[in-house]
Chain A
Amino acid sequence: MRTPPFDPHTPEGPLAEKWQRHRAEVRLVSPTNRRRYRVIVVGSGLAGASAAASLAELGYQVDCFTFHDSPRRAHSVAAQGGINAAKNYRNDGDSVERLFRDTIKGGDYRSREANVYRLAEISNQIIDHCVAQGIPFARDYAGYLDNRSFGGAQVARTFYARGQTGQQLLLGAYGALSRQVHSGQVRLHTRTEMLDLVVEDGRAAGIISRRLTDGRIGRHAADAVVLATGGYSNIYYLSTNALASNVTAGYRAYRRGAWFANPSFTQIHPTCIPAVEDRQSKLTLMSESLRNDGRIWVPQSAHDERSPADIPDTERDYYLERMYPAYGNLSPRDISSRAAKAVCDEARGVGPGGRGVYLDFAEAIGRLGRRVISDRYGNLFQMYQRITGEDPWQTPMRIYPAAHYSMGGLWVDYDLMTTVPGLFAIGEANFSDHGANRLGASALMQGLADGYFILPQTLGHYLAGRPPLAAQNGTAAFEEAQAAVEARLKRLVAVGGRTPVDVFHRRLGELMWEYCGMSRDRAGLEQALAEIPTLREEFWSGICVCGGSEEFNVVLEKAGRVADYLEFAEVMVRDALAREESCGAHFRTEYQTADGEAQRNDAAFAHVAAWGFRDDGSAPQRAIEPLSFEHLHLAERNYR
């Protein structure tokens, strides 16, 4: 097991050559030997499915786990807007270098140069591969691929399939995975959840799983374990994430020795349908692509109760266009979200509770016509109308920020390996490429870069140094991990209270949104640290899982995930507290510029903060990985 300080193992050489050089230097496993290695992939979203399929194509034996009934349901399916690539098909000045710079700047200089450069480099191959898979990207009349713009970029580099790009890319990866299941190269374990990582001799040796349909506990040994388990934004209860998204796999790995990096970096997405009901279960995203044509505004004066149609143009404040003229409505997500909060704090918000801003298409419909707007956003308009009962063709949409994406995740090195040798983390589950703020249409790019192109190279490098099938599932380490999982399930069943698990999840979500959400300060974060343990105690004496652990018990599943959130919340809060600067989505009100922008402190915080679990019950340990910027100059982000 590695201990701090952690070396990211960034290859030597000029930035633009690092990945090619590394690929030429990594150890290889010969084709005939690959079938002797077994790899576990947990998760079947873009990262997991693409990794499982690509590893199987190479000849490794793969076990792929998903808690869904089908791999196709992973939450990547819900990504709407698109996927970035530096193709420069539009001749608008795009390049690998520019995508790299935009991503570093978008992340507010809190990501690794070498990782981000590699991501930009690979972006083009992803589009090639996805087109070859038969993904029906939007095309123009000449038959070429169309692009649109996303926040934080001044070029149009986003490839899309209407508002369902994530679905189409996921179905491509799901197809590739299905092909390998058919050939027997991948064993698929559906409705099976990973509940613990098994570490033996300081290396990942397998996982403990629970089959959700009957509660059967499984022990699975492998030569390497890959976590592609997504993000944890629904720790806020109300978020754009699917309801089952959770931190359990990552958190359990953390407890087994994998360090967790930048856990507090959470993206709050600016364009979501506002909450209207206290029993609401989720917030629905309205794709950022809408900001290509929609204009965001609020009334100029506070407490303006008029309907939007009655407010003349001169009395509207198109605040993003006013404050950030260079990027306007396509300013990055963190900035747009904070601006929305600021105008609502001034009592200029619209809709129920005054927590909303208008996203108005009237001008675009007038300029482009209804047909063009319908082609671009038809399904989103329909979705909005279905949820709110209001017609966006007639009246502007109302939007408000909501928790959306975890930039934080398990610490990984350049090879995507965590601090536990043999344990890899890919996609949203790792922390690597987005720094303190992710740009739109970059999550799909990163998940697929990791799964299709990076991991298949770097995993072989690890395996080549190891004898195959080194791990067996009958060892003491497996016995211990299984016993721990069973004891915890038993404990959850034994609580025997009368309070629904969701009640605690809602309370935790409110607390995290209040103190560790869009803006944070020392007093609030300390308050959160005081309240979380109390809530945890109430959970462990109050919940009811209404049944046993050896049956299909949906409440028990949820209880285990919420129990982990209740512990993980503290790690998030500690991270937000320790980072005494503002950067990207992490906005500490104590650290802001005179005009209210995030004020970074590069001298003290130009680093990745990683947290290590201590099993004596004391607070986790914090270690840093300094970020050095050799290629780019650390600059204040300016979108004005």
Chain B
Amino acid sequence: MDFTLHIWRQHGAAEAGRFVTYPVRGISPDLSFLEMLDVLNEELVGRGEAPIAFDHDCREGICGSCAMVINGDPHGPLPGTTTCQLYMRHFANGAEITVEPWRARAFPVLRDLIVDRAALDRVIQAGGYVSVNTGAAPDAHALTVSKQAADAAFEAAACIGCGACVAACPNGSAMLFTAAKVVQLAMLPQGRPERARRVIGMVEAMDDAGFGNCTNHYACAEACPKQIPARFIARLNREFLNAALTSREFVELARPHEHEE
């Protein structure tokens, strides 16, 4: 198969970027999208040109490294699919394909298609866990968890942290990402003691990192390669509201100076 690629090239964070057009020929339909870029990159290296830099690693749809906007869609046209699991058989022969990095205020471009997603880590650092020290746990069967709750928690926990939700959102919001972790832990008894503290901390970190707000476009859920449902955002809002209205933690977190007195 033959394709014409329009790919964003940008040497460094401080430099201007531009689209460069590359024809690729004789591509097998059984190559993945990233393998097609590998072929192009080998050609570029053969000509002494710098290859296109892109994040990738596991190439089986789970590490969340790969991140490119393909013809306007984060991870390309297939629902529930990461870029690495997209195959050239999913494109028409002769197609023109535009490839760009995630675009969001919180994700500065580092080089070509690689962006800095450390802001997502900061959201997790602000509370996306159960604060249990190693060695403190009771027997695993000390608490039962209904299958329904465990399955719902899993559905949320399937997030791979790729950032497609942010890239898809017109506001560059990370609400779906944040919701996934908040909901996972809110569904489980182990996560309940910290639920107020967690949601307040994570939402604050999300705002601080420069992510926008949710205005109910649901483009995030459309783009999510793990198909995390948009209803989790409603659940996040509910968790936040509950924490804000009823929790003493919120009072302490929101007005630390008063608490210190």
Residue numbers of A with Cβ under 8 A of B are 50, 53-54, 57, 68-75, 77-78, 87, 89, 125, 127-145, 161-162, 164, 167-168, 171-172, 174-176, 178-179, 181-182, 188, 190, 213, 242-244, 276-277, 279-282, 284-285, 382-383, 386-387, 389, 452-453, 456, 498-503, 544, 546-547, 551-552, 554-555
Please tell me if the beta carbons of A78 and B63 are within 8 angstroms of each other in the complex. Answer: yes
Quick check: is B98 within 8 A (CB to CB) of the other chain? no
Which of B12, B59, B143, B190 has the most chain A CB atoms inside 10 A of its CB? B59
**Smallest distance from the beta carbon of B18 to chain A beta carbons, Å?**
18
Chain A residue at smallest Cβ distance from B154:
A136
Please tell me if the beta carbons of A133 and B117 are within 8 angstroms of each other in the complex. Answer: no
Please tell me if the beta carbons of A77 and B63 are within 8 angstroms of each other in the complex. Answer: yes
Instruction: List 13 additional A-B contacts (Cβ < 8 Å) besides A125-B137, A176-B134, A277-B30.
Output: A69-B65, A87-B140, A128-B137, A129-B132, A132-B132, A141-B146, A142-B144, A175-B128, A179-B131, A281-B32, A386-B87, A453-B135, A503-B42
Chain B residue at smallest Cβ distance from A159:
B140
Cα A168 to Cα B125 in complex, Å, equals 17
Please tell me if the beta carbons of B147 and A141 are within 8 angstroms of each other in the complex. Answer: yes
30 A-B pairs within 8 Å (CB atoms) are namely A68-B57, A69-B55, A70-B118, A71-B121, A73-B63, A75-B63, A78-B62, A128-B138, A129-B137, A134-B184, A136-B150, A136-B154, A139-B150, A143-B146, A144-B144, A161-B157, A176-B129, A176-B134, A181-B125, A190-B121, A213-B110, A383-B61, A386-B81, A389-B30, A389-B87, A544-B45, A546-B49, A552-B12, A552-B114, A555-B45
Quick check: is B105 within 8 A (CB to CB) of the other chain? no
B124 cross-chain contacts in A, Cβ below 8 A = 174-175, 178
**Smallest distance from the beta carbon of A84 to chain B beta carbons, Å?**
14
Chain B residue at smallest Cβ distance from A70:
B121
Please tell me if the beta carbons of A134 and B120 are within 8 angstroms of each other in the complex. Answer: no
Please tell me if the beta carbons of B57 and A75 are within 8 angstroms of each other in the complex. Answer: yes
Size range of the chain B interface in the assembly: 35 or more
Please tell me if the beta carbons of B184 and A555 are within 8 angstroms of each other in the complex. Answer: no
Cα A499 to Cα B46 in complex, Å, equals 6
If A142-B144, A242-B59 touch, does A132 touch B31 (CB 8 Å cutoff)?
no
Chain B residue at smallest Cβ distance from A547:
B50
Quick check: is B130 within 8 A (CB to CB) of the other chain? yes
Please tell me if the beta carbons of B63 and A182 are within 8 angstroms of each other in the complex. Answer: no
If A70-B118, A89-B141 touch, does A136 touch B157 (CB 8 Å cutoff)?
yes
Cα A161 to Cα B184 in complex, Å, equals 13
Cα A164 to Cα B160 in complex, Å, equals 11
Contact among B42, B111, B125 with A182 in the assembled complex (CB-CB below 8 Å): B125
Closest 3 CB pairs of A and B: A175-B129, A143-B144, A132-B137
A174 cross-chain contacts in B, Cβ below 8 A = 124
Cα A190 to Cα B187 in complex, Å, equals 31
Residue numbers of B with Cβ under 8 A of A are 12, 28, 30-32, 34-35, 38-39, 41-42, 44-46, 48-51, 53, 55-65, 80-81, 85, 87, 89, 110-111, 114, 116-118, 120-121, 124-141, 143-147, 150-151, 153-154, 157-158, 160-161, 184-185, 187-188, 190-191
Chain B residue at smallest Cβ distance from A73:
B63
A133 cross-chain contacts in B, Cβ below 8 A = 129-130, 132, 190
If A77-B63, A142-B144 touch, does A136 touch B130 (CB 8 Å cutoff)?
no
Chain B residue at smallest Cβ distance from A281:
B35
Please tell me if the beta carbons of B133 and A57 are within 8 angstroms of each other in the complex. Answer: yes
Cα A402 to Cα B188 in complex, Å, equals 38
Please tell me if the beta carbons of B64 and A145 are within 8 angstroms of each other in the complex. Answer: no
Cα A178 to Cα B35 in complex, Å, equals 33
Please tell me if the beta carbons of B58 and A77 are within 8 angstroms of each other in the complex. Answer: yes
A50 cross-chain contacts in B, Cβ below 8 A = 134
**Smallest distance from the beta carbon of A446 to chain B beta carbons, Å?**
16
Chain B residue at smallest Cβ distance from A85:
B140
**Smallest distance from the beta carbon of A129 to chain B beta carbons, Å?**
5
Please tell me if the beta carbons of B12 and A502 are within 8 angstroms of each other in the complex. Answer: no
Please tell me if the beta carbons of A279 and B58 are within 8 angstroms of each other in the complex. Answer: no
Please tell me if the beta carbons of B39 and A279 are within 8 angstroms of each other in the complex. Answer: yes
Please tell me if the beta carbons of A131 and B38 are within 8 angstroms of each other in the complex. Answer: no
Cα A276 to Cα B57 in complex, Å, equals 20
